[in-house]
Amino acid sequence: MAILQTRDLKKYYGAGEAQVKALDGVDLAVEEGEFVSIVGTSGSGKSTLLHMLGGLDRPSSGSVLVGGKDIFSLKDDELTIFRRRKIGFVFQSYNLVPVLNVYENIVLPIELDGNQVDRGYVDQVIATLGLSDRLTRLPSQLSGGQQQRVAIARALAAKPAIVLADEPTGNLDSKTSQDVLGLIKITSHKFGQTIVMITHNDEIAQLADRIVRIEDGRIKGGNGQC
């Protein structure tokens, strides 16, 4: 069953001869529990697509469905709540809060939503990502790879339906990148998470269950649908 779908998704900027078609009719389906890499060069539309999938920006036309629900039918405040509860994000820049320790960063989205932390589940995520002995450290006391592990743990902790990863290894060396991507793959299978990752790196993309290529705002090769 497709947990995530786009239908004729378009995002245009400007008008006339200056118009840029960042997305030009994207149809994509991602199955529940699948790990998909979206690969494209700079300017291909992959980052714009990820922002649309996560409800961070609204399309010019078309729809994004999560669990069969068009997320852009929601008002802005409803979309914010939906995003916080259903979508986990992993960014290239980690986006950790510098004055909070590792554990506080991991559970922050849950607490912001006013929910109780499932300590058993969160502890399992922390152990899987090898962070159990670093919970009281601040982000500044961690390596880049360790900070990205914290970001992954934070994305998983609220049990989102979908995790979106935006060039998650962009700031890491090749060995650390392989380690982090291996952990993303392990956690996606272990915790039943659906992962959509964008990257320009074909080698990294190979770790996913399926690769989708995007060029000039369009899916290439007919592999957008399952």
How do beta strands 69-70 and 87-91 pair? unpaired
What does the pLDDT look like over 171-213, one tens digit per residue? Answer: 777 777 788 788 888 877 888 889 999 988 888 888 899 999 9
What does the pLDDT look like over 99-121, one tens digit per residue? Answer: 999 999 999 989 888 888 999 99
> 19 to each of 25, 52, 128, how far by Cα in Å?
15, 19, 46
- Rounded distance between C-alpha atoms, residue 27 and residue 224, angstroms: 6
Do 71 and 81 touch, CB atoms closer than 8 A? Answer: no
Which domains are present in the chain?
A: 2-220 (3.40.50.300)
- Asked which of 34-38, 75-79, 157-161, 166-170 is least confident by mean pLDDT, the reply is 166-170
Q: What pTM value is reported for the model?
A: 0.87
Alpha helices in 87-216 (DSSP H): 102-112, 119-128, 144-157, 174-190, 202-205
